[in-house]
Amino acid sequence: MPRRTSTSTSSSSTRTTPSMHTGTGTATSASSGRATSGSDSRPRGGSSSSGGPSGRAADSASGADAQAHERADTDADTPASKLATDALRSPCPVACSLDVVGDRWTLLVIRDLFAGKSRFGEFLEAPEHIPTNILAERLKRLQMAGLIEAVPYSERPPRHGYALTPRGRALGPVVDALAEWGLAQFPGTRRPSRLARA
């Protein structure tokens, strides 16, 4: 009777078992017992190392921050006439005027200047209670726009107040018109003392 020959599987064959974590097959070599993953385990471009995108984004943010500070310093030294004519967002004079005095605080500072106030502490006494940081920023903005100027009143220690320039005094009719409109629209309001009329 002829003998039956069996075919044995080579010890070096490879079997594939599913991976529970990646969903890809893991090939195990029977000869060496080593497992090789079906996916590449090398670090990709999204690494959080300093050379990766995260590191580059941080460097970019730092650079933008430095540029913003440089622009702020440049603006502080830029003549008001240049700031008033550069990069107008609209040909409409109303829009351009609102860019300078159109927030809820700036015209109140102008109002107080017309009423005779000139020092930082006096502006803080207004009934609207403007925050100190906002007042400092608005005074700086008004100086840059050429509407007010710093006026020294003490050398030791050095102290200065603020006064309207001719350009700022030209807002007198605007403030007066707002006061008249407000008196008519909001019962119980009253015109600020010493508010100049046009």
In a domain, 106, yes or no: yes
- Same domain for 63 and 149, yes or no, is no
In a domain, 42, yes or no: no
In a domain, 22, yes or no: no
pLDDT tens digit sequence for 17-69: 444 444 444 444 444 444 444 444 454 544 444 455 545 544 544 454 444 44
For residue 154, count other CB atoms closer than 10 A to its CB: 9
Q: State pTM to two decimals.
A: 0.56
Quote the CA–CA distance of 192 and 123 in Å, as a whole number.
13
Task: Give me the domain span that covers residue 138.
Answer: 88-185
Q: Choose the final residue of a domain: 79, 112, 131.
A: 79
Stronger pLDDT, 18 or 136, i.e. the higher one? 136
- Same domain for 62 and 126, yes or no, is no
